[in-house]
Amino acid sequence: MTETDHGFIQIHKADNVWICLRDVRKGETIELNGVSLVAREDVPSGHKIANQPIAAGTDIVKYGFPIGSATRDIDSGEWVHSHNVKTKLEGELTYSYKPVATTVFPHAVAEEQTFLGYVRENGDVGVRNEIWIINTVGCINKVAEQLAKMADRTFKRENIDGVYHFPHPYGCSQLGDDLEYTQKILAGLVNHPNAGGVLVLGLGCENNYIDLFKEAIGPYHADRVKFLAVQQVEDEIEQGMEQIEELVAYASRFKRQEVPVSKLKIGLKCGGSDGLSGITANPLVGAFSDRLISLGGATVLTEVPEMFGAETILMERAKNEQVYGQIVELINDFKHYFAKNDQPIYENPSPGNKKGGITTLEEKSLGCVQKGGFGRVDDVLQYGERIRQSGLSLLQGPGNDLVSVTALAAAGCQIVLFTTGRGTPFGGPVPTVKISTNTALYERKKNWIDYNAGQLVQGATMEGTAADFFRYVIELASGRIQAKNELYGYKEIAIFKNGVTL
């Protein structure tokens, strides 16, 4: 990355656009790397300005890759955005296996190679010791809510981090894949190590009835997971409180202990991206991912539609040809999903993304995949599957923030790192760390944002910032600090739906 004190960046030497780090006014003379030009119009901060003439039909290049093509001739100094650029994305493509050697450089920092976690009886490690109420069906959301509020007031203590429920509308009137999606996600939450105890709350007549749901959960510890079908008891609140009291007694036995950082499983997500996402926050998270993986940990990248246009970068980094084939299937299956529903695959970025400076899905994707760092891709997970190994995994899931963060949690991620340029208060069932791409957002939304990556365009080095951020995550995992979504109670789930409702 090349930059000057004048507020502009050229990310790659082949790029024919600069990124503005401040608002530019028409007629202003700007300079970068000894090249000067005159702005032909106002250009907002985070947006692109042409650093050379670009002929109609030729590529707009950012990150060293095409992000679209010019719809007309663009002069040097012009604003480059949706009004003069179009996507080059197509439908399902044929790919070829062209592996590229990948390297993850180790970072031997002894004092940062452990954290304080809760070691569960099956060997999994949690970063929180919470009680979760998981309802099998949406009809009893309010029962679960009432129980969670009462139990949190009654049973919260020093080593119990709270009692939580996660409302959703599903579990009944569902068939086929939709019912399976619901069961897999809810089962993933039941098995999550951040929950020291779980009350599974059922109604009794739903499609996802308790005995069927137990099959999705698999083996469980009877002291850790309890079940209650509310149609079968006279007073579900009284009965539920009794069972939660037993769960609290069980979970209270667990204490934080020193464990290696190789036990960390971290989700990687972005939402409300802007023109700086691929320059600051996403590369910072990528550096974190590389470092954690070098120490034996696991990271998971999702948002498959936001890989479109950058998928070959991931394919080239596949562990082997089998994983390469799984990535191809992952990409084309999601494109087929769009086509089956008569929707264009390029109907993305969002209005907020565009306002922040992102023009095409290719541009968004090239920034998005940087969260996965530079290491190899070791595994591909289907929606609802759990992490199988250390290293970088790709997880099937949409770009939607709520659905994808829930899928990351259900896959076993104890923490999700969430980069944002526009800002969002949302949090999943696990600590959801908001990393701002720009300092203005960090300063404006103190109740939302946990870490400021905007410092990377204000003189901070990537090496120093990455080391500081790694320490921050270790402190968070050890329970010494909380993410803002935890402090303010922003803990939600959403489940992918792709079928009929009866």
Q: Give the pLDDT of residue 326.
A: 98
For residue 126, the SS3 value is strand
Domain boundary among 62, 86, 110: 86
Per-residue pLDDT reduced to its tens digit, 193-210: 999 999 999 999 999 999
Task: Report the length, in residues, of the chain.
Answer: 502
Domain boundary among 228, 253, 278: 253
- Residue among 280, 494, 477 nearest 383 (CA): 494
- Residue 240 and residue 289 in one domain: no
- Residue 320 and residue 465 in one domain: yes
Q: Give the pLDDT of residue 253.
A: 97
- Residue 176 and residue 221 in one domain: yes
| CA dist 189 → 90, 194, 197 (Å) | 36, 9, 11
At residue 82, what is the residue type? S
Structural domain that includes position 28? 2-86
Residue 99: inside a domain: no
- Residue 153 and residue 234 in one domain: yes
* Rounded distance between C-alpha atoms, residue 285 and residue 402, angstroms: 19
- Residue 208 and residue 269 in one domain: no
| CA dist 26 → 7, 38, 42, 246, 427 (Å) | 16, 8, 5, 68, 40
Residue 283: inside a domain: yes
Q: Give the pLDDT of residue 106.
A: 56
- Residue 198 and residue 317 in one domain: no
Residue 48 has pLDDT above 60, yes or no: yes
Residue 123: inside a domain: no
- Residue 313 and residue 207 in one domain: no
Looking up tokens 């090496």, which residue turns up?
A: 463
- Residue 312 and residue 434 in one domain: yes
Contacts 24+ apart (CB under 8 A), 291-295: 291/107, 291/466, 291/470, 292/261, 292/264, 292/266, 292/470, 293/104, 293/373, 293/375, 293/390, 293/391, 293/392, 294/104, 294/105, 294/106, 294/107, 294/375, 295/106, 295/107, 295/113, 295/260, 295/261, 295/262
- Please state the rounded mean pLDDT for residues 267-293: 96
Residue 91: inside a domain: no
Computed over every residue of the chain, the mean pLDDT equals 94
- Residue 134 and residue 187 in one domain: yes
Residue 114: inside a domain: no
Residue 124: inside a domain: no
Q: Give the pLDDT of residue 478.
A: 98
Domain boundary among 219, 253, 287: 253
Percent of the chain with pLDDT over 90: 89
| CATH number where 139 lies | 3.40.50
- Give the chain's domain count: 3
- Residue 292 and residue 434 in one domain: yes
Residue 121: inside a domain: no
Residue 347 has pLDDT above 90, yes or no: no
Quick one: the chain helix, strand, coil %, rounded to 5? 35, 20, 45
Residue 408: inside a domain: yes
- Residue 248 and residue 279 in one domain: no
* Rounded distance between C-alpha atoms, residue 311 and residue 81, angstroms: 23
Q: Of 87-91, 130-134, 167-171, which range is least confident? A: 87-91
Percent of the chain with pLDDT over 70: 97
Per-residue pLDDT reduced to its tens digit, 370-411: 999 998 999 999 999 999 999 999 999 999 999 999 999 999
Per-residue pLDDT reduced to its tens digit, 139-194: 999 999 999 999 999 998 888 999 999 999 999 999 999 999 999 999 999 999 99
pLDDT top residue among 348 and 89: 89
Q: Is the pTM of this model over 0.75?
A: yes
Q: Of 155-159, 279-283, 489-493, which range is least confident? A: 155-159
Q: Where does the pLDDT of residue 1 fall: very low under 50, low under 70, confident under 90, or very high at 90 and above?
A: very low
Bridge partners (DSSP) listed for residue 227? 200
- Please state the rounded mean pLDDT for residues 275-283: 95
Cα end-to-end distance, the chain, whole Å = 53
| CATH number where 67 lies | 2.30.130.110
Bond from prior residue into 349 cis (ω within 30 degrees of 0): yes
Residue 5 has pLDDT above 90, yes or no: no
Per-residue pLDDT reduced to its tens digit, 286-329: 999 999 999 999 999 999 999 999 999 999 999 999 999 999 99
- Residue 226 and residue 279 in one domain: no
Q: How does DSSP classify residue 17?
A: E
